[in-house]
Structure 1
Amino acid sequence: MTLRPALGPRAAVTEDGTRRVRERLRAGSLTPFGLYGAAVLRIGVAGLFLLNLLREAGHADRLWGPGSPYTPELFRASVQARGADGRLSWWYTWLGTPSPDFFWAAYVLAIAVSALYLLGWHTRLMAVLFAFVVAGFYMRSAVAASGFELLSLLFANYLVLCASGRRWSLDARRAARATPGPVTPYEELRRRVVTVLHNAGMALITFQVMAVYATAALYKIRGSTWRDGSALHYALRLDDFATFPELSHWLAAQGSGMALLAYVTVASQLLFPVLVFIPRLKYAVLVVMLGTHLGIGVLMALPMFSAITVVGDLVFLPTSFWLGAVRRVRLLRSPLSQRQ
């Protein structure tokens, strides 16, 4: 009797599990996952960053330029104090310039890079330049940076690994018109490397979103106001963050409803890393998170932070969802006679 028959079903189960692991690892080097999700993230992050640059153009010098209270001298001293002034520090300190001309030239360049990355023009190059731009603006506003700046920086760096120009981009349109050439061994190796990097980048993005929700929930649990359900009451009473004070005060007075909403918020964030991978519950938890972000954006005057978190959530929607959305859009754009 050989070893395998002696072990019986246990050996068969072990071999089957090993084969599945090998198949998944092989698929990870052959099939790029979430191409539509990567495209949506590219469009969303670049679009929001571009919108922020255009919106703040009138205040740019006071926010990031030489006219900022966080002067270039203070900026350099801060970087040195944190020990971040190494040989590669130019990568993220380039915006700390005392020259107004250089600053405005860099600002225009940042707008151009964001727009081209949004459109997916030479996406690989634009992804690197966009990460460079976002890092510079993040470091320049690090003293007063918000969640929007931080998530933009993280997503921009992860997207450098991703093939985000394969869908919904100028690159994709150009590739669709090109005549495919012969697949050489070098080209096959390049495709596999690109695929592995893309899948690794998408994995980092999904992990980052899950980590944000899980850590946010754990921090909330530590607070007594979240445990007794009064956190949203006090948050809505903060006039500094109230877009519509009367509405916020009215909602704050709904004690039982606000307490229930606080518990739902904590539970959905804490369980998000699990629920988002259960097909029947995925869309439900994403709708809950969408409602949470809309509430924060509308009622607490944090639209950019809410928008970037919504963009991050969209990565969890499957390819079938985006293909279905494309079909519906095409149907709505078609003549009425063709819809019947």
Structure 2
Amino acid sequence: MTRPLDRGLAAALQRVTSTALGPYQSAIVRIGFSLTWLLFLLREFPHRRELYGPDGPWGWDMAQQLIAENHAFTTLMWSDSALWFEAVYAVAVLSSVLLLLGWRTRTMSVVFMVGVLSLQNRSIFMGDGGDNVIHLMAIYLVFTRCGQVWSADARRARRRTEPDRWGPVLWTLLGLLLLVGTLTHRVGGEWWTALLLWGLWVCQGVWWAVNRHAPDSEHRTLLDVLANLAHNAALVVIMAEVCLIYATAGWYKIQGSRWQDGSALYYPLKLDYFTPWPALSDLLANSGLVVMVLTYGTVLVQVAFPFTLFNRKVKNVLLVAMMLEHAGIALLLGLPFFSLAMIAADAVFLPTSFLRRLGGWVAGARDRVLRRAVRIPEQRATPEEQATRTLVG
């Protein structure tokens, strides 16, 4: 009995240390959260100063008092300059775009996390619930190898023709910025915040040096094992976080009388703040059957989901139901970014076969668009240009 068990444990340990599991799941989580945060920043761009900047009701003095108490990390407290705020906001937008594209994902995931924490910790009352999920997932993504597929990093790894020029430049610039923040005591947070940032910076440098000078050595193998362990552990934490969110929400709903009598759904449908489509909201709220089905269906799905992970078919059905539920919240209650954040978190449980097909569909659509874009100039060419192309061909 012990030998099969030992072989099973050895095989599991070998798989966990030799492979970064869930490459498509981690990629879709990376894309989902970077896209959600990017859309939020772009949507609130005209109001950025009121939300997180110098023109907001949550002023500089109040933010300093709060940071002194909770020791949260935010680079926006390094200076009260409007130029510094604009620079941090621009970096947050740029890092979201680059992480979405999968360009230097190890570095961009750290910069993305810094941007999320800097803005959210500056004004903690600006959010709709989805900001908490983005806050947590931005930290977890740092420890994942989320650029294995569907990324510019994966394309560069397949080619391996050009030397790495951007890596040392980014590493040097971020190191200088972190050094200035540390020497001026502006990093903020607890002592482990600076330790974490410096540890990530050192790891990036060691990874680049070993990959550059000893790509086939035992040191590179050891780094791969450690990176795979961190990735797999972070992926498990993300899954556990999603299950915890739904289990907590579901069990609290069961205990509340508002969810037992349906008023928890009925009242929001009657509030002007949560009714972007008043006619549709009234239609649903005036049907007792619809309110009952949506209320008890929501509670049932949230409570049952963590227990369905052991059955793939049932899990996939409830996963679709939860994504449709969040799509309905975005449509009916006007909370698109909360819904996008939760759908991005749910995507970690999507089957690999479906994600591969999804990637194939997206790639096919992209190729069709590019081919059509190439054909359009040829169709609009003048007779003289067409004759010239014929002669040159």
Change (3 A) 1:331 1:127: closer
Amino acid at match of 1:190: L
Q: Is residue 2:106 matched to residue 1:106? A: no
Select which of 133, 143, 158 maps to 1:151. 133
Which letter maps to 2:329? I
Q: Is the 8 A contact 1:233 1:255 kept in 2?
A: no
Query: Is 1:71 aligned with 2:59?
Result: yes
Kept in 2: contact 1:123–1:171 (CA 8 A): yes
Matching residue of 1:19 = 7
- Distance in 2 between residues matched to 1:202 and 1:165, nearest whole Å: 14
2:150 to 168, 183, 202: 168
Does the 8 A contact of 2:52 with 2:119 survive in 1? Answer: yes
In the alignment, does 2:103 pair up with 1:115? no
Give 1:55's aligned residue.
43
Match for 2:38: what amino acid? Answer: L
TM-score w.r.t. structure 1 length? Answer: 0.88
CA distance in 2, matches of 1:115, 1:330: 19
- Cα deviation, 1:37-72, whole Å, max 9, x if unaligned, reads 111111111111111111111111111001111001
CA distance in 1, matches of 2:227, 2:260: 46
Instruction: In structure 2, give the amino acid aligned to 1:192.
Output: V
SS in 2 for 1:143: coil
8 Å Cα contact 1:39/1:167 also seen in 2: yes
Tell me if the contact between 2:63 and 2:123 (Cα under 8 Å) persists in the aligned partners: no
2:292 corresponds to which residue?
259
* Structure 2 residue 200 is the aligned partner of structure 1 residue 219: no
Contact 1:29 1:193 in 2 (8 A): yes
Partner of 1:193: 226
Task: Write the distance in 1 (CA, Å) between the matches of 2:142 and 2:314.
Answer: 31
AA at the equivalent of 2:336: P
Decide whether aligned partners of structure 1 residues 301 and 330 sit closer, same or farther in structure 2, where only a CA change above 3 A counts.
closer
Of residues 14, 24, 39, the one that matches 2:27 is: 39
Contact 1:206/1:316 (CA < 8 Å) preserved in 2? yes
Q: Work out the percentage of aligned pairs sharing the same amino acid.
A: 38
Aligned to 1:8: none
Q: Which runs of 5+ in 2 are unaligned?
A: 162-210, 369-393
Q: Is the 8 A contact 1:293 1:310 kept in 2?
A: yes
Query: 1:220 deviation in Å?
Result: 0.8
After TM superposition, where is structure 1 displaced by more than 4 Å over at least 4 residues in a row?
179-182, 329-335
Aligned-residue offset at 1:199: 0.4
Q: Is residue 114 of structure 2 the alignment partner of residue 126 of structure 1?
A: no
Change in CA separation of 1:331 and 1:277 when aligned onto 2, cut-off 3 Å: farther
Q: Cα distance, 1:238 vs. partner? A: 2.0
2:311 partner letter: I
**Which residues in structure 2 correspond to 1:236-251 (within 5 Å)?**
236-251=269-284
User: C-alpha root-mean-square deviation of aligned residues, in Å?
Assistant: 1.9
Q: How many corresponding residue pairs?
A: 316
Letter in 2 for 1:306: S
| Aligned mates of 2:247, 2:298 — CA distance in 1 | 11
- Give distance in 1, aligned partners of 2:313 and 2:87: 50
User: What is the identity, as a one-letter code, of the residue corresponding to 1:273?
Assistant: P
Name which of 302, 326, 330 aligns with 1:297.
330
CA contact (8 A) 1:229 1:260 kept: no
**What amino acid does structure 1 have at the position aligned with 2:116?**
V
Q: Distance in 2 between matches of 1:307 and 1:53?
A: 14
Tell me if structure 2 keeps the 8 A contact 1:34–1:318.
Answer: no
Contact 1:268 1:288 (C-alpha < 8 Å) held by counterparts: yes
Q: Secondary structure at the match of 2:267?
A: helix
Q: 1:64 and 1:196 mapped to 2: Cα distance?
A: 36
Residue of structure 1 in register with 2:199 after alignment: none
Amino acid at match of 1:226: W
Q: Deviations over 1:275-303 (max 9, x none)?
A: 24411112210111011101111110100
Cα offsets for 1:81-106 (capped at 9, x unmatched)? 33x2xxxx5xx232134211111122
Q: Secondary structure at the match of 1:144?
A: coil
- The letter of the residue matching 2:246 is Y
- 2:237 paired with 1:208: no
Normalised by the length of structure 2, the TM-score is 0.76
Counterpart contact for 1:39–1:164, Cα < 8 Å: yes
Matched, 1:307 2:340: yes
Question: How much does 1:198 deviate?
Answer: 0.7
Residue of structure 1 equivalent to 2:174: none
